[in-house]
Amino acid sequence: RILQKALLRFKIISAYLAANPPRGQRRAMLEHLSNKTWMLENGEIVAVKPDTIRYWVRLYRNGGFEALKDKPRSDKGCRAIPREFIETACGLKQEVPERTIDRIIAIMENMQLAPPGLLRRSTLHRALQAKGLSKRKLKPPDKRDLDRFEADYANDLWQSDMLQGPWLPDPQKKDKKRRTYLYAFLDDASRLLLYGRFFFKGDLPALELVFKRSLQRYGKPVRVYYDNGKVYRANHMRLICAELAIHKPIHTQVYRPEGHGKIEAFNRFCVTNFIAEVKASTIRTLDELNQAFFAFIDVEYNHRRHSELKMSPKQRWLKDASRITYLEEEKIRMAFLWRELRTADKTGVIRLFNKKYKVAPDFSKKKVEVRYDPERLDQIEIYVNGNFVQRAKPLRITPNRAPKQTLPETESAMPSAKTDYLGWLTQQHKKEKTIPLQKPQSDSSKVLTEFIALLREYIDPNVFDQKLCTDFFNTYGPFDIKKIKHVLDTLLAVHPNNLHTAFYLENIQNHLMGDTL
């Protein structure tokens, strides 16, 4: 519930953040947003006052997306309105149905019918709604015609859609075929196909993989324009945009895909120029299909002259290359991690997708937040109260036996007498493949080297254990070296430097988890 509220608040302020109005226009922008209505998860329509929007903008700019989340109340469950006050409020509403909740609260407090501060707007609204006395009217649907539009610069707006692809042999059932699905992201201003990939499942992990690769290759968009499908409306897709400060996610209207024209035009181009060629090719596996698609995009589509742009999509995108904002690899990785709550058992073991993971004994019988990549469950991250505490790997009890040797599978060649254009295109792509623009990835090896050097400087060489320090860094790191230096200075002011290495690492861990030395 707290996350849903924060996402709604980000949705309301995203237009203001994207416009960033100058002095003299800010109040008008706030008044404009306050005239809009917003739909909650339960279908309720709400409006927000200008001062509230301004307060949320200030919170976001000072503390980011986390600042939009409500803090847990210390008096939870202790603020229920007594029945006599609810009956009084209902009587005031029945007397004059036009009275608002704020007006009812003011009347009851001014006339001393209720003590000041007792009545809360949200609580009273739920009480009146239960009595059938609080209901907001829905606005009529917008029937205006759609106009043609185009983003001013590259990465101002990205569009995405899913396209049904060709049928391929099922890798698990050789005598059956499976439908493939293409997810793709396209830049609105340049029509550049940022990244696309075929999958056997059109699920959320597939969409997020394509979105992630697009961000890694071509930087951050200002806005995204999604299809109205269920995966595009998933909470995690909205959370990713909020974490990466991608403002104002937009969805096509239901049964009105006309506004999604550019990605729809690409889909038609893909059907007639790529999928139709698959029938005449030797493609039999998903990997072969994707290799041919990458070649089709890099060699043909992105370098083909566009009739409206009068240049290729790649050339149009490169015109605005100086305006592109790239994201750090670690920030992208953190934003795409899935999140689940789990409670460790008495042995410090949690379960995730029928796999067991071992956490620190301090978290036995405690609830922790697990963040993970659904495609890479070989390592998960553990958070407590929003703070990272450790990484965990699957719990393995190794049997005392040698692994069974597997024989390599032989592939059968399938000759074709047809003209294999995609096969030729793939070979051309391998010869002329270029590396796309990409932000250099961050590397924690430098921080690890500094961490080991710092510990070696403070701890007696006779007791220093480098392997133990490296394992500790891989589980709980990376760290702020200045903070670690401060912990060691404080610790060695009281204790000698020839104790076991585990003693110093345990104190560092306690400090990072909020405990005092």
- Which pLDDT value is given to residue 44? 82
pLDDT(419) > 60: no
Same domain, 341 and 249: no
Same domain, 198 and 225: yes
Name the one residue in this structure whose structure tokens are 């059932």: 173
Q: What is the mean pLDDT of residues 191-206?
A: 94
**Has residue 172 been placed in a domain?**
yes
Tell me how many degrees the CA angle 399-400-405 measures, rounded to the nearest 5: 85
- Of 298, 323, 348, the residue that ends a domain is 323
CA distance 33 to 30: 5
CA distance 287 to 180: 12
Same domain, 187 and 252: yes
Tell me how many degrees the CA angle 9-10-14 measures, rounded to the nearest 5: 125
User: Which residues, 6+ apart, have CB-to-CB distance to 167 below 8 Å?
Assistant: 177, 178, 179, 180
In the chain, the percentage of residues whose pLDDT exceeds 90 is: 34
User: What CATH number is attached to the domain comprising 352?
Assistant: 2.40.50
Same domain, 378 and 458: no
User: Which residues, 6+ apart, have CB-to-CB distance to 324 below 8 Å?
Assistant: 154, 155, 218, 219, 220, 437
**Has residue 405 been placed in a domain?**
no
CA distance 81 to 189: 54
Same domain, 219 and 267: yes
Same domain, 87 and 169: no
Q: Which of these, 515, 464, 468, 462, lies nearest to 487 by C-alpha position? A: 515
**Has residue 142 been placed in a domain?**
no
**Has residue 435 been placed in a domain?**
no
Same domain, 367 and 315: no
Helix (H) or strand (E) holding 67: none
CA distance 294 to 426: 8
CA distance 283 to 169: 10
CA distance 273 to 304: 13
Among 28-32, 243-247, 252-256, 333-337, whose mean pLDDT is lowest? 252-256
pLDDT band at 334 (very low <50, low <70, confident <90, very high): very high
Same domain, 228 and 309: yes
Peptide bond before residue 461 is cis, with ω within 30 degrees of 0: no
CA distance 226 to 238: 11
**Has residue 460 been placed in a domain?**
yes
CA distance 301 to 265: 12
User: Which residues, 6+ apart, have CB-to-CB distance to 240 below 8 Å?
Assistant: 208, 211, 246, 335, 336
In the chain, the percentage of residues whose pLDDT exceeds 70 is: 86
**Has residue 248 been placed in a domain?**
yes
CA distance 207 to 210: 5
Question: For the chain, what is the mean pLDDT?
Answer: 83
Asked whether the beta carbons of 227 and 185 are under 8 A apart, the reply is no
Q: Token pair of 382, please?
A: 């553990």
- Which pLDDT value is given to residue 207? 95
Residues 416-443: b if buried by 16+ CB within 10 A, e if exposed? eeeebebbebbeebeeeeeeeeebeeee
pLDDT band at 79 (very low <50, low <70, confident <90, very high): low
3-state secondary structure 279-319: CCCCCCCHHHHHHHHHHHHHHHHCCCCCCCCCCCHHHHHHH
Higher per-residue pLDDT: 407 or 4: 4
Q: Which of these, 486, 484, 493, 488, lies nearest to 459 by C-alpha position? A: 488
- Which pLDDT value is given to residue 153? 93
Quote the number of domains for the chain. Answer: 5
| Residue 14 Cα distances to 11, 174, 247, angstroms | 5, 49, 5
Name the one residue in this structure whose structure tokens are 């301090």: 362
Q: Tell me the residue ranges of DSSP E strands in 310-456.
A: 338-343, 349-352, 355-358, 367-373, 376-384, 387-392
Same domain, 223 and 273: yes
Same domain, 38 and 162: no
Higher per-residue pLDDT: 515 or 198: 198
Give the pairing of strands 349-352 and 355-358: antiparallel
CA distance 293 to 299: 10
pLDDT(292) > 90: yes
DSSP 136: P
Q: What is the mean pLDDT of residues 507-517?
A: 64
- Residue span of the structural domain in which 304 resides: 157-323
pLDDT band at 439 (very low <50, low <70, confident <90, very high): very low
Same domain, 265 and 180: yes
CA trace torsion 294, 334, 215, 320 (10° rounding): -160
Q: Token pair of 54, please?
A: 């301004």
Q: What is the mean pLDDT of residues 39-48?
A: 82
**Has residue 357 been placed in a domain?**
yes
Same domain, 308 and 230: yes
Using CA of residue 500, residue 501, residue 504, residue 508, what is the dihedral sign? Answer: negative
CA distance 348 to 356: 10
User: Which residues, 6+ apart, have CB-to-CB distance to 311 below 8 Å?
Assistant: 305
Type of residue found at 437: L
Name the one residue in this structure whose structure tokens are 């956490």: 359
- Of 374, 392, 410, the residue that ends a domain is 392
List the beta bridge partners of residue 382: 370, 390
Q: Token pair of 15, please?
A: 């237009």
Q: Which of these, 158, 143, 463, 165, lies nearest to 290 by C-alpha position? A: 165
pLDDT band at 123 (very low <50, low <70, confident <90, very high): confident
Among 78-92, 365-379, 488-502, whose mean pLDDT is lowest? 78-92
Helix (H) or strand (E) holding 509: helix 501-512
**Has residue 413 been placed in a domain?**
no
List the beta bridge partners of residue 179: 167
